[in-house]
Structure 1
Amino acid sequence: MGEPRAYGPPPGPPSSRVAYAAAHVVPDPFGGGLDWDATLAFRRHLWSYGLGVAEAMDTAQRGMGLDWPATRELIARSGREAAACGGRIVCGAGTDQLPPCPAPLGGIVAAYEEQLAVVEEAGAVPVLMASRHLAAAARGPDDYAEVYGRLLPQVRRPAVLHWLGPMFDPALEGYWGSADPDAAGDALVELIAAHADRIDGVKISLLDADREIALRRRLPPGVRLYTGDDFHYPELIRGDASGHSDALLGVFDPIAPAAAAALQALDKGDTAAYDAILAPTVPLARHLFEAPTFHYKTGVVFLAWLAGHQRHFRMVGGLESARSVPHLVRLFRLADAAGLLPDPGLAADRMRAWLTVQGVAP
């Protein structure tokens, strides 16, 4: 194994970009809930590197095992932790407390309002998450405009909108009222223009850098584009003459130390160092998020276990089994090559033990 790269905590958050890491959760292996000590300790790890925490997003298994009662407690606890350490936090508000069946638009609005109240009570910036219920119920862009048009005037502070592509959640196909991403982007830009003073930014997770850049150039002044593109994040965050993307990324969970160091280099105008730091993380990210992309959470938790952030490789709903042995073996090798395993001896011991359980002679 290689030597880990030494990325110490920076003196503070980056100044030239706003950056959030979407954080995973750690279940209690002996019970039905979360291991709160390990879950919150990981958030303190992210804050120590100057990154914000994007809480209760899809990385935390929203829609893939984490139910609303647990999510509500997660938001409240993380909000208190953020206040205690001065950490930046945004939290997802959605409609996943509704049963998985068709719902009227009024019921969808009410579900969003219930979750918005929880997020705002926690002191967090709300992220209006893409809703499976709205995707199923909406007949076109006007229905999205109606729902968001009722929600945005209510928020206490500007919110973040959320466009999660079908590669992350197939149930969100056709979000914003069209299966054509260009038409959907037009509807989104129109909605943002109508409510720009109530919108902090929009998170785009389409894994399409050119489309993200084109949309970024159309946003009103003061509205950020938070990239959720876990394939092309280095160039999108670096930006071009017309602007840059900020970040709200699941890949920042496992690469937090490298991401923080790269952003500090970018603050200093040292784009060569920025590129050099992030370049080794890209092969890992592309493997981590390979199809089926929505199972990337399994790799995120596997890397957290290898890095010593938790004592077991277990996930809510048993999703530790969602990726194959060869996939996770390659992920281990790529993390080692990127210098992202802070204690190679611990990582090797855990990998050897895991391979033994899988029936693979190490």
Structure 2
Amino acid sequence: MTIKASSAHQRLRSHHQDQIACFAGKNHHISARHLIHKIHMPINPHTAYNQQIARCFNNIKAQGHSNPILIAAIPFDTTQNGTLNFYSDFDKTTPAISHNYPSHIPTTLVHKKALVERQAFEHSVQLALNAMASDKIQKIVLSQATEYKFNQQHNPEHIFNTLVKQNPDAYNFLIPIEENQYIFGASPELLLSRQQQQVRSNPLAGSRPRSSSATQNSHSETELYQSAKDRHEHQFVIDNIRHKLSSYCSQFSASETPEILTTSTMLHLSSVFQGQLKDNAPDALNLALHLHPTPAVCGTPTTTARQFILNHEGYNRHYYSGLNGWMDANGNGEWVVTIRNGLLNHNTIRLYAGAGIVAGSDAATEWLETEAKMQTMLNVFQQQ
């Protein structure tokens, strides 16, 4: 069954689907193929979607499936429709990179289209800096998107397997959404994981492009770690996570100082929050939504930054900088920030990247940062 819902009404229609969903964390790989329910609905108000989730899990269990799973994609703006996929069962295995996975996917580019031109992006950065100068805002994350049209359609599972091979330390994902479209990506950022009463978050903010030169990377790491601008940006995120999660914990700890997290294309300032949840704490998805959107993908203060983005960014982010992941019927799960990602639609792929703007940011430098971040997804494809 497919359930489509909006704030005004819900419509139920029968439709059998067999769309694979995959989530490869650092400690395990999850794959699910037998899709039973698909819900498209806004995540606000929370009561409606929580009722739908509980109803779906109960219905699947009543059909004799003891191990259902939710694999979902939530948008940046939770008043827009998200996609909740319910599978009757799933496979959970230890990470293993097969030699059969392709290192790249051969392709021929037919057309490239920028949804946000460089000049428009840099103008938005200047508007953000003006808002900061008048003390209306402390940080804004601005993004851009580019569409690539290829001469052929690509198998979603092949894209996912290539991502896993190229980014073994990332959170790789492939999730079906509307009209046979998929979001896919290799996120470096764990928004939240819950396993029984243990909760963990690994926020990132502040970054530099990674080089093929070890000497240059060492220099970039030192520069990043000593950068007052990046440490200031990172602190916004840490303070936000600690403030929002600590009330649900009987005890918790957080990194005293950030470390450097290295991905295939970037260097990030990284901190870790860990806690023991109270007995009445929400499930994994609701905890993650309580954090969303973090200053790492939106800004500070959240409401003002989000409205600035909606007014000035120039395109609809939809799933980019939202969250995606999985949750079982017991409320355990993992949710990551939807960055280093793309939207697959037949033979067209839309790629996204953003940069955090704070006082002292340079518009040209921030644009180049978004270009560097987009390279994670471009590395999947080998131009012919």
Normalising by structure 1, we get a TM-score of 0.24
Which protein has the bigger strand share? Answer: 2
Higher-RCO chain (CA-CA 8 Å, sequence separation at least 6)? 2
Which protein has the bigger helix share? Answer: 1
Normalising by structure 2, we get a TM-score of 0.23
